[in-house]
Amino acid sequence: MTSRRDLLRTGAALVATLPTTFPSLLEGAAQATLGDRSDDVYKTRLAAAAFERDQSSSAQRANGDEEALPRYVGMYSKALPHNDVGEVEPEAYAFLLRALRSGRPRDFDFIPRIGELKLANPQAGFGFTLVGPDSAALSCPPAPRFSSAQQAAEMIELYWQALARDVPFDEYDAHPLIARAAKELGRGPATLFRSSGAGSATGPYVSQFLLKDIFFAPLAIDQKFQTAPAGRDHVDGFDHWLDIQNGGRPHDLTLVSAPCYVRNGRDLAEYVHRDFTYQAALSAALILQRMGAPVNPGNPYAQSGGQSAFVTFGTPFLLYLIATATHAALMACWYQKWMVHRRLRPEEFGGRLSTHLAKRASYPFDSTLLESAALAETLRVRGSALLSQAYPEGSPAHPAYPAGHAVVSAAGTTILKAFFDESFIVPDPVVASEDGLSLRRFDRAPLKVGGELDKLAANIGMGRNFAGIHWRSDLEAGFRLGEDVAIRVLREMHIASHEPFSGLHFHRRDGTPVAV
């Protein structure tokens, strides 16, 4: 048996012979590698471009409300000038359409505004990305129509969510308001206001990745934050609502002094009020590393005895891909919002319903909404059909469909599922106390990483619904779009990688297996 000393001595002797035995060969190989690399770079980038070019693309289709309904009453128009019942001035909307159809940057500056609110980046859809699919390559199905039963059902759910903002998630099983909402929506209290996907329906409402400490090494940061005070809702009078639609300045938001963990819909809404684009995915990546979650079994370094991942297939690469995939997804989202759908926000829809009930205008609402218990309770509690908002400014100044937070959160969590083992059981799971000031152990069903990542995406998306600024279908379309973009980014990664690997395997939110 060869001893360690003999092995090292033999290796050293072999290395010592190389410069004298093969000098011209080694130098020639190095020069060839350096000389050929620029061509290889060019070919690799062409291959990535060809891959994206050759992917099938879907036709872009809107729901038809822009042409079917008079005076653009079914379309997004916040920040443009409106008449006294809250309908957009047709000339102003025509300027918006002209700019979107021409693509000329100067046309966007001619869109009329009377308030201080600026339209949020409508030109983004014209830009290009160098990683992932083009912003126009993917599509979302048409959003529900203004007069449809589905839109009515989604508004009913939003009324209940607004009424239930301050009910702790842990009390859903026994709270009378939640029981009434669940009955009308045809869901059980345990699944109320949850998103689709098995992970979203398993265990506590709030994902472990919104509760556990984040390790920004060498710092450990708990996830307590200042939330909004209970019962403090906004945009609750028609004159105020109209001023907000015209781009008026909102009043300041007052926050409670004692930081807390996410425990109810208002907390979740406030978390996604002030976060940055891929904050949740980045936090989850750091939490997963700290808890020692194993990498995806398909990682080419998972079984290596002599190498470890770092710049490729390691932490720097993971963080790069999270940022890259979420930005590509946001570009695709903005194309859908401005160039295709231009769906009105729930707060705008609530204004239409308010003027309809006051007989100041007439709109084609589905009867299930007009006869709903949610509307009746909202009228009793609020005195108005306006959808109360968790944010003083109401919705941001861009169309509703699809939801940006849903797109970004799904893209980020898809990258995480490709890098970590979905089946790993989250150690020491927790839930927030009723007052949100502490955490306690969750000791029921085990929680898997894949499910908690799906739940994280659902929480981030649904937080915007609790705020009153998005529809459920905004989320579902956004989740799918975000996943699609991230998967395409990962497939480009295979083109540029040097390491041979059999593929990264994970699942979409709906359980469909994916191999990259």
Asked if 473 contacts 154 with a C-beta cutoff of 8 angstroms, the reply is yes
Q: pLDDT for 168-183, tens place per residue?
A: 999 999 999 999 999 9
Output the pTM of the full model: 0.92
The predicted pLDDT at position 25 comes to 44
Share of residues in the chain with pLDDT > 90 (%): 81
Decide: helix, strand or coil at residue 105: helix
Which residue in the block uniquely carries the two structure tokens 């009930």?
357
- Write the CA distances from 267 to 194, 435, 447, integer angstroms: 15, 11, 22
Which residue in the block uniquely carries the two structure tokens 């206001």?
193
Lowest mean pLDDT among 12-21, 29-38, 424-433: 12-21
Q: pLDDT for 426-440, tens place per residue?
A: 999 999 999 999 999
User: 206, 172, 199: which is closest to 187 by C-alpha?
Assistant: 172
- Compute the distance between CA of residue 179 and CA of residue 340 in angstroms, rounded to an integer: 38
The predicted pLDDT at position 135 comes to 94
User: 156, 185, 166: which is closest to 375 by C-alpha?
Assistant: 156
Residue 74 burial (CB < 10 Å; 0-12/13-18/19+)?
buried
- Compute the distance between CA of residue 149 and CA of residue 48 in angstroms, rounded to an integer: 43
Phi/psi at 28 (5° precision): -65, -40
Q: pLDDT for 461-477, tens place per residue?
A: 999 999 999 999 999 99
Name 323's Cβ contacts closer than 8 Å, sequence gap at least 6: 278
Better-predicted residue by pLDDT, 253 or 153? 153
Q: pLDDT for 51-80, tens place per residue?
A: 898 887 778 999 999 999 999 999 999 999
Q: Which domains does the chain have, with CATH numbers?
A: 119-515 (1.10.606.10)
The predicted pLDDT at position 198 comes to 75
Q: Is the pLDDT reported for residue 29 higher than 50?
A: no
The predicted pLDDT at position 18 comes to 46
407 pLDDT band, cuts 50/70/90, is very high
The predicted pLDDT at position 192 comes to 95
Name 317's Cβ contacts closer than 8 Å, sequence gap at least 6: 309, 310, 311
Q: Is the pLDDT reported for residue 205 higher than 50?
A: yes
Report the chain's mean pLDDT, rounded to a whole number: 92
